[in-house]
């Protein structure tokens, strides 16, 4: 027993990575209730990258929970409520969750205040931009005249993106990469504190970083959908390890 305890004490502590979740009507077994949800692919990606995933439901939001974490992921999901950036809803803007928007805006601001490593995914990048004062294109096909970013329901598109070499995104992906995408909204006016670091061929912003932070990155694509490429999650966990070691 003593040997097992010493082995556990010697084992490296995995960084704790918080991930925002959805509140959705859900059915399991005999139950039909609202539940906090997150696709398992996020959990698997964080675990495979060496982290411990911790779920952050949009209930009882308390930014001090970030003091327990080594990194934060703002997950993808439904459309951002256009009232949060003073816009009227487009007919294609549906299924918004203002409560989740408020929850994630609080966590984003708190993470940046703490310089907590931050990865914002798809809707997460949109929330990052809106939280910092930017706007969204509510229906991207109106702008780019195609639907390749979201080919059809539950079908991911393949998008080739060009990356700024002198950036965190560039260090991770080089000057060009192909990604899994599924979105009909995108960044419109880019917030002053954001630097665009990748674009699709049609000009759509595909990645942006927060100025003045070592690791505060948002991507419009879905890295969790490609288990063969964990570069973003591995980089986030590595930053989390540095943060944990410096405490």
Cβ neighbours around 147 below 10 Å, total:
13
Q: Angle, to 10 degrees, between the axis of helix 123-131 and the axis of helix 98-114?
A: 70
Helical (H) or strand (E) element with 101 = helix 98-114
Which residues, at least 6 apart from 175, have a Cβ–Cβ distance to it below 8 Å? 162, 163, 165
* Catalytic hit among 183, 184, 222, 225: 222
* Residue 19 in tokens: 């991930």
Q: Left if phi > 0, otherwise alpha if psi is -120 to 50, otherwise beta: which for 140?
A: alpha
Any catalytic annotation for residue 224? yes
Euclidean distance between CA atoms 134 and 185, whole angstroms: 13
pTM attached to this predicted model: 0.94
User: Which of 163, 73, 67 is CA-nearest to residue 122?
Assistant: 73
The CA-CA-CA angle for residues 189, 159, 126, to 5°, reads: 30
Name the H helices within the chain.
Answer: 2-10, 40-48, 98-114, 123-131, 141-144, 168-173, 231-246
103, 122, 206, 209: the active-site residue: 122
Both tokens assigned to 246: 């410096």
* Whole-number pLDDT of residue 246: 84
17-246 CATH, one of 3.40.50.880, 3.40.640.10, 1.10.357.10, 3.90.190.10 = 3.40.50.880
- Is residue 239 annotated as part of the catalytic site, yes or no? no
Give the CB-side neighbour count of residue 132, counting CA atoms within 13 A. 25
Place of tokens 């308390």: 62
Beta pairing class for 176-181 and 118-121: unpaired
Identified catalytic residue from 104, 224, 225, 239: 224
Instruction: Please give the C-alpha separations between residue 29 and each of 32, 33, 34, 41, in angstroms, as whole numbers.
Output: 8, 11, 14, 22
Using CA atoms, how far apart are residues 43 and 53, in angstroms rounded to an integer? 6
DSSP secondary structure letter of residue 80: P
pLDDT for res 102:
97
Predicted local confidence at residue 4, as pLDDT = 56
pLDDT in tens, the chain (247 residues): 455 555 555 567 899 999 999 999 999 999 999 999 999 999 999 999 999 999 999 999 999 999 999 999 999 999 999 999 999 999 999 889 999 999 999 999 999 999 999 999 999 999 999 999 999 999 999 999 999 999 999 999 999 999 999 999 999 999 999 999 999 999 999 999 999 999 999 999 999 999 999 999 999 999 999 999 999 999 999 999 999 888 7
List the chain domain ranges: 17-246
Q: Say which DSSP state 145 is in.
A: S
């Amino acid at each position: 027993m003593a040997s097992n305890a010493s082995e556990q004490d010697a084992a490296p502590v995995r960084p704790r990575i918080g991930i925002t979740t959805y509140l959705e009507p859900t059915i399991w077994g005999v139950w039909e209730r609202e539940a906090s949800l997150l696709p398992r692919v996020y959990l698997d990606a964080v675990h495979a990258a060496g982290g411990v995933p911790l779920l952050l439901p949009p209930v009882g939001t308390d930014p001090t929970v970030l003091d327990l974490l080594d990194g934060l992921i703002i997950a993808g999901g439904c459309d951002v409520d256009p009232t949060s950036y003073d816009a009227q809803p487009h007919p294609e803007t549906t299924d918004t969750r203002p409560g989740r928007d408020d929850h994630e805006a609080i966590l984003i601001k708190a993470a940046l205040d703490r310089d907590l490593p931050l990865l914002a995914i798809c809707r997460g990048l949109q929330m990052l931009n809106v939280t910092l004062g930017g706007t969204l294109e509510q229906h991207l096909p109106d702008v780019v005249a195609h639907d390749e970013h979201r080919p059809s329901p539950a079908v991911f598109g393949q998008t080739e993106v060009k990356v700024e070499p002198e950036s965190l995104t560039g260090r991770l992906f080089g000057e060009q990469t192909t990604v899994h995408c599924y979105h009909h909204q995108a960044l419109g006016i880019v917030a002053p504190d954001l630097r665009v670091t990748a674009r699709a061929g049609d000009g759509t912003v595909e990645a942006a970083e927060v100025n003045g932070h070592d690791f505060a990155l948002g991507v419009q694509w879905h890295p969790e959908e490609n288990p063969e490429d964990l570069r973003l999650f591995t980089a986030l966990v590595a930053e989390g390890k540095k943060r944990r070691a410096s405490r």
